[in-house]
Amino acid sequence: MQKIIEAEKSDLFDVLAYVAFATAPQTRARRAEKATVGAHLQFTGKQQAFVDFVLAQYVEQGVEELDTDKLSPLLKLRYRNAMADALSDLGSAAQIRQVFVGFQRYLYQG
């Protein structure tokens, strides 16, 4: 379906919105740009850097990168398996999860 409407760089959400409401699909890159603005108002500098990293992965790989099962692999990739550094930069495991889940609301806000 994404290929048919020329939205390969968009999320399934955008494809379905196009089909249901004739809404022009947004690219993942555009969604990431908008999410960056909101996230930078909410999180600390190091948390923002992690959000930027996750958004870059989202743009390149797709929405699957935002699944909570991907949090640990993304942290390992970003911090080169140094989880102590991740905890030092981002806070407790609960805080890291809150950052990871928290910024995602900005991706789909009007």
| Helices 71-78 & 45-61 angle (0-180, nearest 10) | 110
pLDDT surpasses 80 at 82: yes
Report how many domains make up the chain. 1
- Measured at the CA of 76, the angle between CA 72 and CA 78, to 5 degrees, comes to 115
**How does pLDDT run across 7-58, given as a tens digit for each residue?**
788 888 888 888 888 889 999 999 999 999 999 999 999 999 999 999 999 9
85 in any annotated domain = yes
State the residue range of the domain holding 95: 28-107
68 has a pLDDT exceeding 90: yes
47 belongs to a structural domain: yes
Q: And the tokens for 43?
A: 């999180």
Assess if residue 17 is contained within a domain. no
More confident residue, 75 or 10: 75
**Is there a domain that residue 90 lies in?**
yes
Task: Give domain status of residue 11, yes or no.
Answer: no
